[in-house]
Structure 1
Amino acid sequence: MMKRLLIIFASFMPTYGFALEPLSAEDLSAVSGQGGVYLSGDITINENGGPLNVDGPSANGYSWQTSCTTASTDKRCGGRIAVNSGAGGGWLVLDNIRGRFSFEGLTLRTRKINSDFDGDGAAFNSDVFEIGLPNNLNYEDASFTIANSNSARPTDTGFMQTDIMTVNINGKANLQGNLLIFPTGAP
């Protein structure tokens, strides 16, 4: 019975022939399009442990964390990003990065700015890198510490760090807009 219905349905469908053909240079010049990347992600950092530490309970100094629960006595239990803030050698640090971050709809593309910006766009008349913020950013047991340090790694001799604040996030953030990154001239 099902086979008969499919044959009847197929007999009412028109038949079309499709073929791909190369475009001439003239035809191609009339085509416009957009390029870019659309990203979605689900990132979990240090779910099963963390990097080397100096403040933890290990008798040997530095160790690999095996527990990142809130009951853990280890004081350092997440990822670390350190950025040199200048010639003086100071470091701005995001430390103890851990938790789950997910997003959908982050876009990356280039965009030409040749108008607006209170008239400055016409004078600029160049490409910028545009990061389109995702509509939602979801956090689950996410946390990080903002700090300053005298070196990039906790394992460096004479390492000292001052924690400024720790952020703990659970929930959803609604984002809107774009971040534009403008090129600069050669140094």
Structure 2
Amino acid sequence: MCSPFAIAEMAPLDDAGMAEVSGRGGIYLSGDISINELGGPIQNDYFGRCNEQDKKCGARLAYQLKEGGGWMVLDEIRGMFAFEGLTLRVRSIDSGFGGDGELFNRDVIELGLPDTVRFNDVQFKIAASNTPRPTDPGFMQTDIFDVEMQGDVLMQGNLLVFPEGNP
């Protein structure tokens, strides 16, 4: 018993063959991320051990706003993040947005947030820093505010990331 597809071989497609192929572009993601959940069974040493005496622990995300400028920081990130069906794709904005879409007429990155994006007992700090890492020489950080979300937060909709500057 042999299926006819079992002996098919792969072959390259030329431009004419590719023109007949249709599909949807984008990425579909699902997963769970736990970062030093307080009261959780396992504390991950990679992000620093959390305990009652030392509240400074968790992940750090630093991004530079412009070349040679300072750093915006999400620091001491802790909690559980889960998502099912998070999508990432490029979307063309050429209409809508109160008439501004036609003038914009460019592509944006769309992050699709299905109703199963869940945050649970999340904490993080938003700060400004002169270096990306606290271990760098001369490190100085100014905390702007702390965020703490107890319980579940469900999100849905789309997040659009617009490019800066002229095309």
Is the partner of 1:119 in helix, strand or coil?
helix
Equivalent residue for 2:62, pick from 76, 82, 91 = 82
2:111 counterpart of 1:121: no
2:121 to 141, 145, 151: 141
Q: Over alpha carbons, which structure has the higher Rg?
A: 1
Distance in 2 (CA, whole Å) between partners of 1:86 and 1:36 is 28
3-state SS of paired residue (2:147): strand
**CA shift for structure 1 position 173:** 2.2
SS of structure 2 residue aligned to 1:122 = helix
Q: Distance in 2 between matches of 1:29 and 1:88?
A: 44
Q: Which runs of 5+ in 2 are unaligned?
A: 9-14, 37-42
Output one character per residue of 1:133-168: Cα deviation in whole Å (capped at 9) or x when no partner: 131332333211112222221112222222222222
Give secondary structure in 2 for the equivalent of 1:134: strand
**Shift of residue 26 of structure 1?**
9.0
Partner secondary structure for residue 118 of structure 1: helix
**Of the candidates 57, 68, 71, which is equivalent to residue 50 of structure 2?**
68
- May I ask how many residue pairs the two structures share in their alignment? 154
Deviation at 1:101, TM superposition (A): 0.8
TM-score (normalised: structure 2): 0.69
Asked if the contact 1:105/1:135 (under 8 Å) is kept, the reply is: no
**TM-score for the superposition, normalised by structure 1:** 0.63
2:136 pairs with one of 156, 163, 169: 156
Q: Any idea what SS the aligned residue of 2:119 has?
A: strand
- Residue 104 (structure 2) pairs with residue 104 (structure 1): no
Say whether 1:35 aligns with 2:25.
Answer: yes
| Distance change (3 Å), C-alpha of 1:94 and 1:183 | closer
Q: Please say if 1:48 is aligned against 2:28.
A: no
Give 2:24's aligned amino acid.
Q
Partner of 2:40: none
Q: Secondary structure at the match of 2:101?
A: helix
Partner of 1:9: none
Equivalents in 1 of 2:113, 2:56: separation in Å? 30
Letter in 1 for 2:29: L
Percent identity over the alignment is 55
Match of 2:161 in 1: 181
Once the two structures are TM-superposed, the CA of residue 78 in structure 1 deviates from its matched residue by 1.1
